[in-house]
A and B are shown apart, each in its own frame.
Chain A
Amino acid sequence: MRDYRHHARHLLPYGLCALFLCATGIATAKEAPFELPPLVEPATAEHHVGKVIWLDLMTPDLAGAKQFYSGLFGWTFRDIHVGKTDYAIAYLDGQPVGGVFQRPEPSGKHRQPTWLTFFAVRDVDAAERTAVKHGAKVVFGPRSYPQRGRQAVFADPEGAYFAVLASTSGDPSDVLALPGDWIWSALLTPDPDKDAAFYQALFDYDAFGLQSGDGLEHVILSSDDYARASVNALPSNSSRPHPRWVNFVRVLDTDAAAAKAAALGGRVLVAPHIDRHGDKIAVVADPAGASFGLMEWSDTDSKKEPE
């Protein structure tokens, strides 16, 4: 009996240790690392440097955002909750179109929720070096996510935020965006000339200056012989000019979509009007204030004259 007690006392620490290791192992398995799904499924070998391939929304109201965007575009959502992070992947017809982060506003500061624009690159670290060399600031250094790829966030020389992503599953194909998907991106900046040069250095874009009736500078940036984005001088009467990317979702009827955005609790920031491609665009904000554009793109090439 005495021997038994002696052995039991001797083995007790090891038993407790084994118990703790099991419990910790289970807890670690449950607290799986944050996984972003692949950008393209099944994976492809396509790469389109300079193409906008992803957008993330930072908002203080994830539930409200899900309700708004599902009501407006028919997006569905898959929730991902890890630790303190609440995130949802937005899907259009089964394909991922963006992500939404629940992010509380910093205490004492009123900040505006925003959509963050991700451009395709092949090498994020090389992009970081080029961006910094040409005047960008690193907001969030390169970081890898196993299924998604490697990404980083910068502020361009004028201060507009954007991100780059080297997708491990390839980039989405160059096809016409479906209604409800992102179709276009426009940069508003105090210095389009300088910013166009910056993005050209970063993504090796071709750049085309445009004639415009407003007397302001507009530049179209293209890669793979497709227009990828426009760089535009801020309207001259902007009272608080702030450089930013505005991303547009394709809609079938801009007037109806803008009205619906307002009915869902959003705001119309720029009323629907004809743009250079001959169809209507508008800029709206979701209920939390994140802005984005609405854009018609008819399949017929019947250009109307801007009003």
Chain B
Amino acid sequence: MNNLPRRWVMPVLGLLMFAGLCACIATGPGYDGGVGVGYIGGVYEPNGYDYGGWGGSYQVGPPRGHERRRERPPAHTYRAAPQTRPIPSIPTRPGRPWHPTPPRPPQP
């Protein structure tokens, strides 16, 4: 009876090491583990900014490819493309055929 605890030492140590290893595997590379969740909370934006001031002349969309460049570009921090280069547009080559899923009606 006296030597029973000694017999348990090695299995218990083995169990503890294995359990620790399992914990690392289970929580390691996922969004749910450790620092994995960090970025989600971090990119919540501060509440309360507004979207005012988008009048008809305020434009943020893509060009069609024939917009005018600046006549005399001022000095920029960015490296402006040569004045002779036209402004490119977005990709307009058709992709795969479209099979729209019927939108669900609004729930009351």
Given contacts A209-B70, A214-B59, contact A71 B104 (CB under 8 A): yes
- Would you call A85 and B77 a contact (CB within 8 A)? no
Residues of B with C-beta under 8 A to A219:
78
Nearest CB in chain B to that of A70: its residue: B104
- Would you call B95 and A240 a contact (CB within 8 A)? no
Residue from A85, A112, A235 within 8 A of B31 (CB atoms): A85
Nearest CB in chain B to that of A68: its residue: B106
Q: What is the bound-complex CA distance between A281 and B107, given in angstroms?
A: 26
Q: What is the bound-complex CA distance between A28 and B102, given in angstroms?
A: 40
Residue from A83, A112, A175 within 8 A of B46 (CB atoms): A112
- Would you call B99 and A113 a contact (CB within 8 A)? no
Residue from A67, A101, A211, A226 within 8 A of B107 (CB atoms): A67
- CB within 8 Å of A: which of B76-108? 76-81, 85, 87-96, 98-107
Residues of B with C-beta under 8 A to A186:
60-61
- Would you call B26 and A28 a contact (CB within 8 A)? yes
| 7 further contact pairs, Cβ within 8 A, besides A33-B26, A175-B93 | A72-B103, A175-B91, A184-B62, A193-B77, A238-B52, A260-B106, A301-B64
Residue from B29, B67, B81, B103 within 8 A of A207 (CB atoms): B81
- Would you call B56 and A273 a contact (CB within 8 A)? yes
Given contacts A93-B99, A276-B61, contact A111 B46 (CB under 8 A): yes
- Would you call A34 and B44 a contact (CB within 8 A)? no
Q: What is the bound-complex CA distance between A237 and B91, given in angstroms?
A: 33
Count, chain B residues at interface, CB 8 A: 82
Interface residues of B, dominant DSSP: loop
Residues of B with C-beta under 8 A to A75:
101
Given contacts A114-B45, A238-B52, contact A207 B78 (CB under 8 A): yes
Chain B contacts to A: CB under 8 angstroms: 4, 7-8, 11, 14-15, 18-19, 22, 25-33, 35-64, 66-71, 73, 76-81, 85, 87-96, 98-107
Count, chain A residues at interface, CB 8 A: 123
Given contacts A85-B31, A193-B76, A240-B48, contact A13 B7 (CB under 8 A): yes
- Would you call A238 and B30 a contact (CB within 8 A)? no
What are 12 inter-chain pairs, A to B, with CB distance below 8 A? A16-B11, A70-B103, A93-B101, A94-B99, A161-B42, A175-B93, A176-B94, A193-B78, A227-B87, A230-B62, A274-B56, A301-B64
- Would you call A33 and B28 a contact (CB within 8 A)? yes
- Would you call B53 and A58 a contact (CB within 8 A)? no
Q: What is the bound-complex CA distance between A69 and B71, given in angstroms?
A: 43
B15 to chain A, nearest CB (A): 6
Given contacts A214-B59, A289-B47, contact A179 B100 (CB under 8 A): yes
Given contacts A20-B15, A145-B29, A210-B87, contact A281 B61 (CB under 8 A): yes
Residue from A140, A210, A214, A307 within 8 A of B63 (CB atoms): A210
Q: What is the bound-complex CA distance between A71 and B75, given in angstroms?
A: 47
B38 to chain A, nearest CB (A): 6
- Would you call A235 and B53 a contact (CB within 8 A)? yes
- Would you call B73 and A212 a contact (CB within 8 A)? no
- Would you call A270 and B54 a contact (CB within 8 A)? yes
- Would you call A207 and B79 a contact (CB within 8 A)? yes
By Cβ-Cβ distance, the 10 closest A-B pairs, closest first, are: A235-B53, A34-B30, A140-B39, A175-B95, A111-B44, A275-B61, A213-B57, A83-B32, A186-B60, A242-B49
Q: What is the bound-complex CA distance between A152 and B32, given in angstroms?
A: 16
- Would you call B62 and A277 a contact (CB within 8 A)? yes
- CB within 8 Å of B: which of A106-160? 106, 110-114, 116, 139-141, 143-146, 153
Q: What is the bound-complex CA distance between A173 and B98, given in angstroms?
A: 15
- Would you call B60 and A232 a contact (CB within 8 A)? yes
Q: What is the bound-complex CA distance between A194 and B27, given in angstroms?
A: 40
- Would you call B77 and A196 a contact (CB within 8 A)? yes
A219 to chain B, nearest CB (A): 7
A225 to chain B, nearest CB (A): 5
